Amino acid sequence: MCGIVGAISNNRNIMPILITGLENLEYRGYDSAGIAYSKDNNVNIIKVTGKISNLKQKISKDVESNIGIGHTRWATHGQANSINAHPHKFKHITIVHNGIIENFIEIKEKLKEKNYQFKTDTDSEVAAALLNYYYEKFNNIEKAIKEFIKNVIGSYAICLMLDDDLENIYTIKKESPLVIGTTDNTNIIASDIRAILKYTNKYYILDDFEYAKVNAKEIIIKSKDGKIINKNLKVFTEKNIDNSKGHYNHYMLKEIMEQKETILNTILPFIEEGIDSLEKLPDLTKYQEIAIVGCGTAYHAGLVAKYLFKEIANTKCNVYIASEYRYQNNFLNKDTLTIFISQSGETADTIAALKLVKNKDCPTLGIINVKNSTMSFLVDKCLYTNVGNEIAVASTKAYTAQVALLSLLVLAQAYRNKSLSKKEVLQIIEEFKNIKTLVNDVLNKKDLYQKLAKDIYKEEDIFYIGRGLDYALAMEGALKLKEISYIHSESYAAGELKHGTISLIKKNTPVISSATNANLNAKTISNLKEVLARGANVYLITDENYKEDNINIINIPKVNIFIKSLLIVIPYQLIAYYIAVLRKTDIDKPKNLAKSVTVE
């Protein structure tokens, strides 16, 4: 994770570029931050714990420089404090680093034998020390970089300043994204082009094992053996990037409310002309099986799709957590299509799983939000969720867009393999066209969600239960709540509770559920009564007209199975949000988290 930025110019002060870049990268981590810049041929370093706002306060307004590097950190090795914060300086070398140096302990031990002493617990300081060691050995920074690439195991995007050469920034990349933006007499390095769009939309992408020497006038990119690589300059053309909160107090609320537009925006090209539009979706009938891989919320979107593929389209489907998938036998074969779901397109585990499938030459499809992200280049085919920037750490509008796209893939499959008739498919398409009104209806029950939040926000354990599709949704509901409110919340298959977990139910424990499957609802309601009998406070989201004593009902409109999950998740998102408001947490940047998980 973490965000890096570096800038060098011969006609402007680069300090505002560093700060703006870091502010735009804060979504990658925000537990400490720092910058290094040159002043009178000396490298000065400022580091703080906490957010970029703390860093800004520490930098005096009149500091100017033409070369600098900066970092916002999500701690992996060593506590989140100012000592472990980047930049790390080791004698001649100052670096900021994204990624993980996997063999850092071994390298550290070897360097200690050579009397190197370390001040921090980080792998990044070891990277700086190793670069310094090679630099002193060869008296040549490029040789040092090439040796570094040969000997380091792990992932890195590094920006490096060298005391003896403050006319250049050096940058090295493996498995952690890195771009070099270019504008008039100024070049800017960053871990995400969006960090520097205020200054330029023209950029180069570095590939794995490449390094570059960047000064105000030129960018020289080389392969690991030192050969110059001529890269195509890319132009970032995405327009209308709205990074403001509008009139909302939090990005999360804004993004939840945007779902009335974003779901339809994502799926419109595949429904607007009925079946003809649906046919634009990839044909999955040629595969024996569908595998879906993702992390966190993206994995939960995959669970909804699995249910629909199996139950509606009669198609074998399995869903895997990327960090597990990459280390297990997946019996890969060309008859299985593997779908990779990711908002950011940069999640390290999902990328690793994708590379695994690609190395076996098996087919892949991406459902990705961020264009030009690492995964978007790797997959055979990509369907974009097109929800715009999702800034709040807790994913909401990306999840519903992922579910909507996956649902249409299932619908197309059910049409092609005749699990559903043409008439049924057309009816479902018509209902999808009405999604805006349906979503609006559920979003508008704010008072209900706020009341529920008020009833339960002081609790420390909350359970989410459901069966089938409702279980997949319960998992997302519990995740949303725990990540932003810090309340311990768990999801369980409703029928599984009495095999152990019911022992945790006590007076007033909230148990929240949804029941959307006519064949299973009675069973879920029985399970709710079982916890009610043990003192729980019970809430049920449903599209049926149930009236049950002591069960608080939240009604959603009655819709077909493809749309249900898109509506049920909204109360889950808003309940989590309003609880977090009452608990006064940092909703958009919850503790310990980051928007893009670029380490394993």
Q: Measured between alpha carbons, how far apart are the two ends of the chain, in Å?
A: 9
Q: Per the residue annotation, which of 47, 51, 89, 595 is the catalytic one?
A: 595
Instruction: Give CA–CA dist 72/3, Å, rounded.
Output: 5
Closest distance between ligand F6R and the C-beta of residue 527, in Å? Answer: 26
Closest distance between ligand F6R and the C-beta of residue 373, in Å? Answer: 9
Tell me the CA distances in angstroms from 319 to 272, 304, 306, 314, 469, one per residue in order.
29, 10, 7, 16, 14
Sequence-ordered alpha helix ranges (H) in 114-199: 123-138, 141-151
- Asked if residue 383 lies in contact with residue 367, where contact means CB atoms within 8 angstroms, the answer is yes
Instruction: Give CA–CA dist 32/201, Å, rounded.
Output: 28
| Paired sense of beta strands 381-384 and 364-368, if any | parallel
Q: Which residues ranging from 462 to 481 are in contact with ligand F6R (CB under 6 A)?
A: 479
Q: Which is nearer to ligand F6R, 470 or 483 (CB)?
A: 483
* Choices 53-61, 115-123, 291-299, 500-508 (CB under 6 A): range interacting with ligand F6R: 291-299
- Confirm whether 381 is a catalytic residue: no
The secondary element (H helix, E strand) that includes residue 88 is: strand 88-90
* Choices 77-85, 229-237, 296-304, 306-314 (CB under 6 A): range interacting with ligand F6R: 296-304
The answer to whether 344 contacts ligand F6R (rule: CB under 6 A) is yes
Tokens 């393999």 map to which residue? 417
- Give the number of residues in contact with ligand F6R, rule: CB under 6 A: 15
Closest distance between ligand F6R and the C-beta of residue 319, in Å? Answer: 14
Instruction: Give CA–CA dist 125/118, Å, rounded.
Output: 8
Q: Which is nearer to ligand F6R, 34 or 388 (CB)?
A: 388
Instruction: Give CA–CA dist 434/76, Å, rounded.
Output: 45
Instruction: Give CA–CA dist 154/464, Å, rounded.
Output: 38
Instruction: Using CB under 6 A, pick the residue from 8, 33, 281, 295 that binds ligand F6R.
Output: 295
* Choices 65-73, 79-87, 100-108, 340-348 (CB under 6 A): range interacting with ligand F6R: 340-348
Instruction: Using CB under 6 A, pick the residue from 46, 267, 580, 597 that binds ligand F6R.
Output: 597
Strand partners, 462: 489
The answer to whether 395 contacts ligand F6R (rule: CB under 6 A) is yes
- Asked if residue 524 lies in contact with residue 467, where contact means CB atoms within 8 angstroms, the answer is yes
Displacement of CA 599 from its chain's centroid (Å): 11
Instruction: Using CB under 6 A, pick the residue from 157, 206, 394, 511 that binds ligand F6R.
Output: 394
> Of all residues in this chain, which one has the CB nearest to ligand F6R in the complex?
296
Tell me the CA distances in angstroms from 190 to 165, 172, 178, 181, 590, one per residue in order.
20, 12, 6, 8, 24
- Confirm whether 2 is a catalytic residue: yes
* Choices 3-11, 290-298, 552-560, 569-577 (CB under 6 A): range interacting with ligand F6R: 290-298
The answer to whether 353 contacts ligand F6R (rule: CB under 6 A) is no
The answer to whether 343 contacts ligand F6R (rule: CB under 6 A) is yes
Instruction: Give CA–CA dist 255/265, Å, rounded.
Output: 14
Q: Which is nearer to ligand F6R, 295 or 599 (CB)?
A: 295
Instruction: Using CB under 6 A, pick the residue from 255, 483, 543, 588 that binds ligand F6R.
Output: 483
* Choices 80-88, 251-259, 278-286, 293-301 (CB under 6 A): range interacting with ligand F6R: 293-301
Instruction: Give CA–CA dist 50/32, Å, rounded.
Output: 4
Q: Which residues ranging from 188 to 207 are in contact with ligand F6R (CB under 6 A)?
A: none
DSSP tally for the chain: helices H, then strands E: 19, 24
The answer to whether 350 contacts ligand F6R (rule: CB under 6 A) is yes
DSSP 491-548: EEEGGGGGGTGGGG--TT-EEEEEE--TTTHHHHHHHHHHHHTTT-EEEEEESS----
* Choices 78-86, 153-161, 326-334, 343-351 (CB under 6 A): range interacting with ligand F6R: 343-351
Instruction: Using CB under 6 A, pick the residue from 24, 66, 182, 347 that binds ligand F6R.
Output: 347
Closest distance between ligand F6R and the C-beta of residue 585, in Å? Answer: 14
By three-state DSSP, how is residue 531 classified? helix
Specify the DSSP class assigned to residue 509: -
The answer to whether 296 contacts ligand F6R (rule: CB under 6 A) is yes
- Asked if residue 459 lies in contact with residue 504, where contact means CB atoms within 8 angstroms, the answer is no
Q: Which residues ranging from 91 to 120 are in contact with ligand F6R (CB under 6 A)?
A: none
In the complex, which residues of this chain contact ligand F6R (CB under 6 A)? 295-298, 342-344, 347, 350, 394-395, 479, 483, 596-597
The catalytic site residues sit at 2, 595
